[in-house]
Structure 1
Amino acid sequence: MSAQSAVLITGASTGIGAVYADRFAKRGHDLVLVARDRERMEALAARLRERDGVNVEILRADLTQRADLLQVEARLADDARIGVLVNNAGASAAGGFLDQSVDDVSRVIDLNTTALARLASAVAPRFAREGRGAIVNIASVVGLAPEFGMSVYGATKAFALFLSQGLHLELGPKGVYVQAVLPAATRTEIWASVGKDVNEIEGVMEVDDLVDAALVGFDRRETVTIPPLPDVQQWNDFDNARRAMMPNFAQSQPASRYR
Structure 2
Amino acid sequence: MTDVAVVTGGGRGIGAGLARALSERGLHVVVTDVDGDAAQRTADTLPGPATAMPLDVRDPGAHRSVAAAAADLGEVSVWVNNAGVLSTASAWEATDAEVTATVEINTLGVVHGCRAAVDVMRRGDILNVVSLSGLGPTPGLAVYGASKAAALSYTQALHTELGGARRPIRALALCPDAVSTELLRAVSDRPSSALLFTGPRVLGVDEVVAAGMAMLDAKRQLRVLPTWRGWLTRTQSVLPGVARVLTPMVARIGERRRPGG
Match of residue 10, structure 2, among 3, 12, 21: 12
User: 1:25 is matched with which residue: 23, 26, 36?
Assistant: 23
Residue 38 of structure 1 deviates from its aligned partner by 3.0
Shift of 1:41: 2.6
Q: Deviations over 1:108-151 (max 9, x none)?
A: 11111112101211221333xx3x12111111110112144311
Q: Do structure 1's residue 84 and structure 2's residue 75 form an aligned pair? A: no
Corresponding residue of 1:224: 222
Go from structure 1 to structure 2 and tell me whether the alpha carbon gap of 1:114 and 1:76 turns closer, same or farther (over 3 Å shift). farther
- Counterpart check, 1:192 vs 2:189: no
Q: Which runs of 5+ in 1 are unaligned?
A: 242-259
Task: Work out the CA distance in 1 between the residues paired with 2:73 and 2:45.
Answer: 24
Query: 1:183 aligned to 176, 182, 198, which one?
Result: 176
Alpha-carbon distance in 2 for matches of 1:196, 1:71: 38
Structure 1 residue 77, shift from structure 2 partner: 7.1
Partner of 2:110: 116
* Residue 75 of structure 1, CA deviation: 3.8
Partner of 1:99: 93
Tell whether the 8 Å contact from 1:184 to 1:228 is kept in structure 2 after alignment.
yes
RMSD: 2.9
Structure 1 pair 144/230, CA: closer, same or farther in 2 (3 Å)? closer
Q: Does 1:215 align with 2:213?
A: yes
Instruction: Report how many residues are paired.
Output: 228
Measured after TM superposition, the shift of residue 84 of structure 1 is: 1.1
What is the percent sequence identity of the aligned residues? 28
- The alignment status of 1:163 with 2:157, answered yes or no, reads no
Q: Judging changes above 3 Å, is the alpha-carbon distance between structure 1 residues 42 and 78 closer, same or farther for their aligned structure 2 residues?
A: closer
- The runs of 5 or more residues in structure 2 that have no matched partner are 239-261
1:251 is aligned to: none
Say if 1:93 and 1:108, in contact at 8 Å, map to a contact too. yes
TM-score, length-normalised on structure 1? 0.77
Matched, 1:140 2:131: yes
- Whichever of the two has the greater Rg, that structure is 1
Which position in structure 1 is the counterpart of 2:119? 125
Deviates more, 1:8-17 or 1:56-65: 56-65
CA displacement at 1:81 relative to structure 2? 2.6
Distance 1:104 1:162, change over 3 A: same
Q: In structure 1, the residue corresponding to 2:52 is in which secondary structure? A: strand
- Contact kept? 1:35, 1:59, Cα under 8 Å: yes
2 CA distance for matches of 1:68 and 1:195?
Answer: 32
Q: Deviations over 1:22-65 (max 9, x none)?
A: 111111111000102333333322221xxx3x211000122235
- Distance in 2, matches of 1:133 and 1:111, equals 24
Distance, in Å, in 1 between the alignment partners of 2:109 and 2:138 is 26
Q: 1:88, 1:154 → 2: CA distance?
A: 16
Match of 1:84, SS state, is: strand
Tell me: CA distance 1:164–1:225, structure 2 relative to 1, closer, same or farther (3 Å).
same
